[in-house]
Structure 1
Amino acid sequence: MPEVTLVPIRTPADANLILGHAHFIKTAEDLYEAIVNSVPGAKFGIAFSEASGPRLIRREGNDEALTRAAERELMNLGCGHAFLIFLAGAYPINLLRDIRACVEVCAIHCATANPVKVAVLREGEAGAILGVMDGLGPVAIEGPEEARARRDFVRKIGYKLA
Structure 2
Amino acid sequence: MVKIDVVEIEKPEGVEAIIGQGNFSVFTVDDLAKALLTAVPGIKFGVAMNEAKPQLTRFTGNDDELEGLAAKNAVKIGAGHVFIILMKNAFPINVLNVIKGHPAVAMIYGASENPLQVIVAETELGRSVLGIVDGKAAKNIETEEQKRERRKLVERIGYRID
TM over 0.5: yes
| Whole-angstrom distance in 2 between the partners of 1:69 and 1:36 | 19
Matched ranges for 1:49-64 at <5 A: 49-51=50-52, 53-64=53-64
Matched ranges for 1:1-162 at <5 A: 1-24=1-24, 25-51=26-52, 53-124=53-124, 126-160=126-160
Answer with 9-18 or 101-110: which moved more.
9-18
Could you tell me which amino acid in structure 1 is paired with residue 63 of structure 2? Answer: D
Identity of aligned residues (%): 37
Could you tell me which amino acid in structure 2 is paired with residue 39 of structure 1? Answer: V
Answer with 102-111 or 148-157: which moved more.
148-157
Superposition deviation, residue 132 in structure 1: 0.6
Q: How many residues align?
A: 161
Judge conservation of contact 1:43–1:62 (CA < 8 Å) in 2: yes
Superposition deviation, residue 161 in structure 1: 6.8
Judge conservation of contact 2:121–2:128 (CA < 8 Å) in 1: yes
Could you tell me which amino acid in structure 2 is paired with residue 45 of structure 1? Answer: G
Superposition deviation, residue 157 in structure 1: 1.4
Judge conservation of contact 1:12–1:69 (CA < 8 Å) in 2: no
Structure 2's unaligned 5+ residue stretches are none
The alignment yields a C-alpha RMSD, in angstroms, of 1.4
| Whole-angstrom distance in 1 between the partners of 2:77 and 2:125 | 12
Judge conservation of contact 1:12–1:66 (CA < 8 Å) in 2: no
| Whole-angstrom distance in 2 between the partners of 1:161 and 1:109 | 26
Structure 1 runs of 4+ off > 4 angstroms? none
Superposition deviation, residue 40 in structure 1: 2.6
- Aligned residue for 2:5, secondary structure, equals strand
Superposition deviation, residue 12 in structure 1: 2.6
- Aligned residue for 1:26, secondary structure, equals helix
Structure 1's unaligned 5+ residue stretches are none
Deviations 1:60-102 (A, max 9, x none): 1011111011101110111101000110111111111111111
